[in-house]
Amino acid sequence: MAEFDAQFRMQPRDFIAGLDFYTWTRHFHVLHDLLAREHGDVIEVGTGDGVVRRCAGPFMRSYRVMDINPALQPDIVGNLLDPQPALAASADAVVCTEVLEHLPFEALPRALAQLQGFLRPGGRLYLTLPHRKAHVLFVSPRQRLWPLRFPVGLLSLSEAWNRFVRRRIWIDPHHCWEIGDGRVRRRDVERLLAEGGWRVQAFRELPYCDCWILAHGQPPAA
């Protein structure tokens, strides 16, 4: 519990020092999608290392960050599960990458409803969630990224020990859950997205995470 709670006191330097290639890969795809589709008002929930904001912010009408950790100097200090009336219908896009797994899975519907409340009609949610799979990333001669996924325990001795000997799938100690952790499946997340009225506009599998672009409600009439 102490290790879990410590993440909410992390400093910006801690996040930057912890950047790895897979995180950069996620940033690349989120930035590519965001810059291709958005130019209005953006809210990012969970500032993390701040890379997405620093790269995309100058190209948006406005870019604000909400985070529970005041040490990260967000524009809005707040808990996603608490009411945020000042943010209601104030964004054309919401970015929420590697955040919701830090909350109990049972709180996911409420968190998704909060994110929906930040959006104006027609707005989009850029969402990623960790997926506990073994993965290999290839880069083609044309610099296309090809991630391959395998069941946990096939590519790593430590993961094999945890899964087949200890009979549990290891997840990041800062997370409450991950897709593929033996309890939560992608279909469970997709069911909650559908029940919450989200429409999938795009989906891709990335190393260590699943990535969605989501819209809420019915599509506009033709």
| Helix (H), strand (E) at residue 33 | helix 21-37
In a domain, 166, yes or no: no
How many residues does this entry show for the chain? 222
Assess if residue 146 is contained within a domain: no
Q: State the pLDDT at residue 219.
A: 57
On whether residue 165 sits in a domain, the answer given is no
Residue 57 lies in a domain: yes
Nearest residue to 67 via CA among 27, 34, 99:
99
Q: Report the domain count for the chain.
A: 1
Which pLDDT band, with edges at 50, 70 and 90, does 222 fall under?
very low
Pairing of strands 41-45, 91-97: parallel
pLDDT in tens, 131-177: 999 888 888 898 888 888 988 888 888 888 888 888 889 999 999 99
CATH of the domain at 38: 3.40.50.150
Could you give the count of Cα atoms lying within 13 Å of 154 in the half-sphere of its Cβ? 10
Establish how many alpha carbons lie within 13 A of residue 37's alpha carbon, considering only the half-sphere containing its beta carbon.
Answer: 21
Predicted pLDDT of residue 167: 84
Residue 34 lies in a domain: yes
123-135 burial string, b = 16+ CB within 10 Å, else e?
A: bbbbbbbbbbbbb
- How far is CA 163 from each of CA 166, 185, 207, rounded to the nearest angstrom? 6, 16, 20
Closest by CA position to 23, among listed 183, 137, 166, 187: 137
Residue 56 lies in a domain: yes
CA angle, 25 then 28 then 47, to 5°: 95
What is the domain extent for residue 190? 2-132+171-216
In a domain? residue 116: yes
Is 164 part of a structural domain of the chain?
A: no
Of 66, 63, 86, the C-alpha closest to 75 is: 66
Helix 186-195 to helix 108-118 angle, to the nearest 10 degrees? 50
Judge residue 5's burial from the number of C-beta atoms within 10 Å of its C-beta, 0-12 exposed, 13-18 middle, 19 or more buried: exposed
pLDDT confidence tier of residue 59, bands split at 50, 70 and 90? very high
Helix (H) or strand (E) holding 145: strand 145-150
Q: What is the pLDDT of residues 72-120, one digit of tens each?
A: 999 999 999 999 999 999 999 999 999 999 999 999 999 999 999 999 9
| DSSP β-ladder status, 62-67 and 134-139 | unpaired
Structural tokens at position 11: 């400093």
Query: How do residues 171-212 score in pLDDT, each as one tens digit?
Result: 999 999 999 999 999 999 999 999 999 999 999 999 899 999
